[in-house]
């Protein structure tokens, strides 16, 4: 099977396990990272010994979330578009939410080549 491209316009939605309002949760909408952003993030995930460091990648959660989020629905009673998602807004989220959403972004963006082809 030939390679197929990643749909950069595709979006993914998720909510946080930290959100206790299961009937009306905050929804985070994110898009795939651009390859330049992936390379930047991945380069910080390798130690001086060139071994992959998952902890280093997790330290990039804030950057991943900021670059990938396209919308936040139902946060503090309103929706936020990409241009409204500022550092201050993200700082108002609990660090565990940032970490959790960052993990989901990593999961969606750093697939193996075989998985990305399907």
Rounded (10°) angle between helices 35-43 and 61-68: 170
**Taking the model in full, what pTM does it have?**
0.79
Domain presence at residue 7 = no
- pLDDT, residue 111, reads 59
The one-digit pLDDT tens for each residue of the chain (118 residues) are 677 777 778 899 999 999 999 899 999 999 988 888 888 877 777 767 777 777 777 777 788 889 899 999 999 999 999 999 999 999 999 989 998 998 888 888 775 555 444 4
- pLDDT, residue 83, reads 96
Paired strand residues for 97: none
Q: How far apart are CA 83 and CA 71, in angstroms?
A: 9
Domain presence at residue 44 = yes
The number of distinct structural domains making up the chain is: 1
Q: Is the distance from CB of 94 to CB of 76 less than 8 angstroms?
A: no
Q: How far apart are CA 93 and CA 91, in angstroms?
A: 5
Print the domain residue range for 77: 12-117
């Amino acid at each position: 099977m030939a390679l197929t491209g990643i749909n950069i316009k595709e979006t993914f939605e998720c909510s946080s396990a930290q959100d206790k309002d299961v009937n009306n949760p905050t929804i985070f909408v994110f898009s795939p990272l651009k390859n330049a952003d992936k390379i930047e993030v991945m380069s910080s995930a390798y130690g001086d010994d060139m071994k992959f460091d998952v902890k280093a990648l997790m330290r990039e959660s804030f950057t991943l979330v900021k670059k990938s989020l396209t919308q936040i629905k139902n946060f503090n009673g309103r929706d936020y578009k990409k241009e409204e998602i500022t550092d201050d807004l993200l700082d108002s989220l609990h660090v565990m939410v940032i970490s959790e959403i960052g993990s989901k972004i990593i999961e969606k963006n750093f697939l193996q080549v075989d998985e990305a082809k399907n």
